[in-house]
């Protein structure tokens, strides 16, 4: 289980709010050792490296479960077409790096391990009109949401929940927590979470090309 706000299975089960906290810090640029921010930077590097040269990246959704392998769903523009790619770590990066403070890897050591990690990259057989609809729908979502999910006005620490990181082609970075059917926790951006669920269903119902 991760050290700050933590992620569950891909089944999108209802998370449990374990405690209250302020918004967690994700920036790893100032870390000297391998911390949570460096872990996220490693994910970014690995996913980008796995799809470099395969068209223009429109939007990337990283799916980060607690106990399973991390993966990303990426909408790419290739020539005039919009394609959906799935990139999956062969081994969970979090386990590969080791939880923060469990051993004393440096930030650079963890980034090197992330870049050396093996990933499976596949293009999914999604009809082009579906991928274009996904991209158009994303453009219609207001991306100005809260900085964290809310429970009675505070930011709960979530255990056994899935985290999503959305990266836009304009350089924006948004983070969402899966809240399932919980009625007392408000999503950072409910409309964006609905769009992410639609993307997940599309990918889950598609086969590799």
How much is the average pLDDT of 166-179?
93
**pLDDT single digits (tens) 42-94:** 999 999 999 998 899 999 999 999 889 999 999 999 999 999 999 999 999 98
Separation CA 67–CA 63 (nearest Å): 12
Only one residue has tokens 């429109």, namely 58
Tell if the pTM clears 0.75, that is, is over it. yes
pLDDT, tens digit, 9 for 90 and up, residues 9-42: 222 333 434 333 333 446 788 898 888 899 999 9
Indicate whether 197 pLDDT > 70: yes
H-assigned helices in 59-150: 93-97, 107-116, 128-139
pLDDT of residue 19: 37
CA-to-CA dists, residue 196 to 1, 40, 71, 168, 180, angstroms: 23, 19, 14, 13, 13
DSSP state of 124: B
Longest dimension (CA), the chain: 48
Say how far apart CA 61 and CA 168 lie, in whole Å.
Answer: 9
pLDDT at 103: 72
- Strand, helix or coil for residue 152: coil
Residue 205 pLDDT exceeds 50 = yes
* Per-residue model confidence (pLDDT) at position 155: 87
CA pair distance 25, 41, nearest whole angstrom: 13
Whether the CB-CB separation of 81 and 63 falls below 8 Å is answered with no
Query: With 0-12 CB in 10 A as exposed, 13-18 as middle and 19+ as buried, what is 135?
Result: middle
Name which of 111-125, 143-157, 163-177 the model is least confident about: 143-157
Point out which residues pair with 75 in neighbouring strands.
Answer: 59, 84
Task: For the chain, give the mean pLDDT.
Answer: 85
Nearest to 19, CA basis, from 9, 7, 4: 4
Pairing of strands 81-89, 119-123: antiparallel
pLDDT at residue 6 greater than cutoff 70: no
Q: Compute how many other C-beta atoms are within 10 angstroms of the C-beta atom of residue 7.
A: 25
Q: Decide if 146 contacts 189 (C-beta within 8 A).
A: yes
Most confident range (mean pLDDT) of 10-24, 52-66, 157-171, 175-189 is: 52-66
């Amino acid at each position: 289980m991760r050290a700050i706000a933590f992620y569950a299975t891909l089944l999108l089960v209802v998370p449990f709010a374990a405690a209250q906290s302020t918004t967690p810090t994700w920036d790893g640029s100032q870390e000297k050792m391998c911390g949570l921010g460096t872990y996220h930077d490693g994910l970014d590097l690995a996913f980008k490296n796995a799809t470099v040269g395969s068209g223009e990246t429109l939007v990337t959704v990283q799916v980060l479960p607690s106990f399973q392998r991390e993966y990303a769903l990426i909408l790419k523009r290739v020539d005039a077409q919009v394609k959906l790619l799935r990139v999956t770590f062969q081994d969970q990066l979090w386990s590969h790096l080791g939880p923060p403070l469990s051993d004393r890897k440096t930030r650079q050591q963890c980034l090197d391990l992330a870049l050396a990690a093996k990933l499976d990259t596949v293009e999914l057989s999604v009809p082009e009109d579906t991928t274009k609809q996904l991209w158009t729908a994303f453009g219609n979502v207001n991306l100005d949401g809260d900085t964290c999910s809310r429970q009675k006005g505070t930011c709960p620490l979530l255990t056994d929940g899935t985290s999503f990181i959305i990266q836009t082609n304009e350089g924006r970075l948004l983070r969402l927590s899966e809240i399932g059917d919980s009625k007392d926790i408000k999503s950072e951006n409910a409309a964006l979470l609905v769009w992410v669920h639609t993307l997940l269903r599309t990918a889950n119902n598609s086969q590799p090309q």
